[in-house]
Structure 1
Amino acid sequence: MVHPPDTLACLAIALGIEAAAGYPDALYRAIGHPVTWIGRLIAALERGLNRGSERRRRLAGVLALVLLLAVVGGLAGLVTAAAGLAGPLPALVLTGVLAASLPAQRSLHQHVAAVETGLRAGGLEAGRRAVSMIVGRDPERLDGPAICRAAIESLSENFSDGIVAPAFWIGVLGLPGGALYKAANTADSMIGHRTPRYAAFGWAAARFDDLVNLPASRLAGLLIAGAAFLRGADGRGALRAMARDARRHRSPNAGWPESAMAGALGLRLAGPRVYDGTLVPDAHMGDGRAEATPDDIGRALALYRTACWLQGGLVVGLLALGFALAG
């Protein structure tokens, strides 16, 4: 069993490397990314198992999720065990380097900043192109404020499931925990849709992803609120919006970081949105203005950066406490 200080040290290394360098493009071109490897396995399982009656598809989806987690968790466990043969310090460094591929602090910032830059430099069409890279809704239906709201919503939600959640599970279970979370989250993004093809087969993936994101979504909201206090935004507003609105979101998790960001910035986010031509009803997060601007994207990014630093500080603090308690 990996001791808590070891998993936290692995996490600290991973977050530091990812924040400094991200996932290098040259490495991606050479070998791909863990998410692309996981995605190929999910696609193969879906092609082989997603057929028959609704009941059979649902059972097949459960089996696919179990097989996915067994393969990913087993491989990550083997890598961790093999690294341990080199000694404690080399094992920490190696697993930390590998775990750095799982959070996405740097790339998320780049994608959202591109929306702000696009709107300022190229106007509405450039903003639509940039935001289409990070949201699933039809960009042609979005005006300037809607593009800004979409970018801020994506930043908030992905801070939770793209950064805080993998960090949480790395901190709890080391590299295998982060890899298992990434497998579950990737499965949800690929097959966890309420469409005729995936409604039954992706049911297990969607429900499991909701479950494993529960702790991180609450923590993400608190980190955003903490960042608001530190940067002179409306920290109390973030806490009020979370308490009032988070549970009204159609997602059991997305409402926490989105409501915190809305309250911190004095915005009104979420609400009814159009995906693939279908109006999806949802509650509003926050009770501020709906007319978001590129300046608001910049303010949201500033809160995001501070929240990432807060998360890193929390990890270092817990690591120090863990070593102290370990003797």
Structure 2
Amino acid sequence: MQISLFPLLAFLSLAVEAAAGYPDRLYRAIGHPVTWIGALIAMLDRRLNRERDAPGARRAAGIAAVLALVAASGLAGLAVQLVCGGGLGLGMGLIAAALVAGTLLAQRSLHAHVAAVAEALERNGLAGGRRAVSHIVGRDPESLDEAAVARAAIESLAENFSDGVVAPAFWLAVAGLPGAAVYKAINTADSMIGHRTARHEAFGWASARLDDLVNLPAARLAALLIVTAAVFTPGASARGAWRATLRDARRHRSPNAGWPEAAMAGALGLALAGPRRYGGIRVEDALMNAGGRREATAGDIRRALALYRRADALFIAVLALLAVLVMPHG
């Protein structure tokens, strides 16, 4: 498959995943690529992350684990791409590759999980909202009031728009299926072992740093998409999104999450991020769009989802245009 076809592959994958998602029946039958990647990470963690080893040795083991993970996922992606591009013809090969690549994207599931928080708050109040938001964030749900539940859902929507949609599609457009597979493996490793806990402080260092690196371009692009989408979203402020991004994004404790979160906060007139609790530990963080409203509601979640849908559609349109511009002719 030619490199010039990668943007078209990314466009088709987004379109397929937006239309169909990943069928529950298929998940029950064979699992999901992310669960397969997760199983490999868990195995590497069990075998290489030995508590008796010194921190330096555990960091080296974590580097070796990430290299093995990158090699395995990249080779798997390349094998699928070669099969699709070599034996099925251009048209069918692209469709087959897009179906596979679509499993690495999370447009529909992200929307569904965040919308479920809004619905739970509206139907079942705080208790329902806490249960629903616990499926998408790692912070202590019992420490959240209704406004904090709504903010957590909106923050997750903004961050995962970058991590779960823009980033894998970006690397798919740049490096094909191997690039998207490697990105997904790195991002999954960060979510599993990239935490500053006693077990993973040293072993997960490499996965956390590499995840920061591969998400750099997507986080900035996601923020730009949110800012632009705010122009076309009733009740959203593109100017507020732009100002909050420029002022606050770099103040976030994460080098990447602050970009889409600040853009989302400014667009909706909310103040997101700030102090949070994980595992009983208070984590300090800067406010995104300080001075905005902290009392977020289920209605604000639905406003954020409307903005997300437009930003996602804009991203798909940009990839379609790019595909036309670079597609080989003749």
Quick check: TM above 0.5? Answer: yes
Distance 1:215 1:222 in 2: 11
Listed one character per residue, the Cα deviations across residues 40-81 of structure 1 (whole Å, up to 9, x for unaligned) are 000001111001110000000000000001011111111111
Corresponding position: 1:38 with 2:37: yes
Matches within 5 A, 1:104-143: 104-143=106-145
**Partner residue, 2:56:** 55
Amino acid at match of 1:145: A
**Partner residue, 1:309:** 313
Distance 2:318 2:85 in 1: 26
Q: How far 1:3 moved relative to its partner? A: 2.1
Where in structure 1 are there 5+ consecutive unaligned residues?
none
SS at match of 1:227: helix
Listed one character per residue, the Cα deviations across residues 204-253 of structure 1 (whole Å, up to 9, x for unaligned) are 00000000000000000011111111113100000000000000000000
**Partner residue, 2:74:** 73
Listed one character per residue, the Cα deviations across residues 11-51 of structure 1 (whole Å, up to 9, x for unaligned) are 11111111011110000000000000000000001111001
Distance 2:83 2:205 in 1: 35
Amino acid at match of 1:235: A
**Partner residue, 2:300:** 296
Q: How far 1:90 moved relative to its partner? A: 2.1
Distance 2:11 2:320 in 1: 7
Distance 1:84 1:224 in 2: 34
**Partner residue, 1:284:** 287
Listed one character per residue, the Cα deviations across residues 101-128 of structure 1 (whole Å, up to 9, x for unaligned) are 0110000000000000000001110000
Q: How far 1:321 moved relative to its partner? A: 1.0
Amino acid at match of 1:293: T
Amino acid at match of 2:327: F
**Partner residue, 2:65:** 64
Work out which of the residue numbers 261, 267, 272 in structure 2 matches 1:269: 272
Distance 1:111 1:128 in 2: 13
Listed one character per residue, the Cα deviations across residues 170-212 of structure 1 (whole Å, up to 9, x for unaligned) are 1111111111100000000000000000000000000000000
Where in structure 2 are there 5+ consecutive unaligned residues?
none
SS at match of 1:199: coil
Q: Structure 1 stretches (4+) deviating beyond 6 angstroms?
A: none
Amino acid at match of 1:55: G
Matches within 5 A, 1:236-275: 236-275=239-278
Distance 1:85 1:271 in 2: 50
Distance 2:136 2:116 in 1: 10
SS at match of 1:231: coil
How many residue pairs match? The answer is: 325
**Partner residue, 1:13:** 12
**Partner residue, 2:326:** 322
Distance 1:79 1:316 in 2: 23
**Partner residue, 2:2:** 2
Percent identity of equivalent pairs? 61
SS at match of 2:277: strand
SS at match of 2:282: strand
SS at match of 1:252: coil
**Aligned residues of 2:3 and 2:176 also touching (Cα < 8 A):** no
Work out which of the residue numbers 168, 171, 174 in structure 2 matches 1:172: 174
Distance 1:97 1:62 in 2: 31
Amino acid at match of 1:9: L
Amino acid at match of 1:316: A
Amino acid at match of 2:28: R
Distance 2:150 2:86 in 1: 49
**Aligned residues of 1:148 and 1:294 also touching (Cα < 8 A):** yes
SS at match of 1:282: coil
**Aligned residues of 1:2 and 1:173 also touching (Cα < 8 A):** no
SS at match of 2:327: helix
Amino acid at match of 1:174: G
**Partner residue, 1:227:** 229
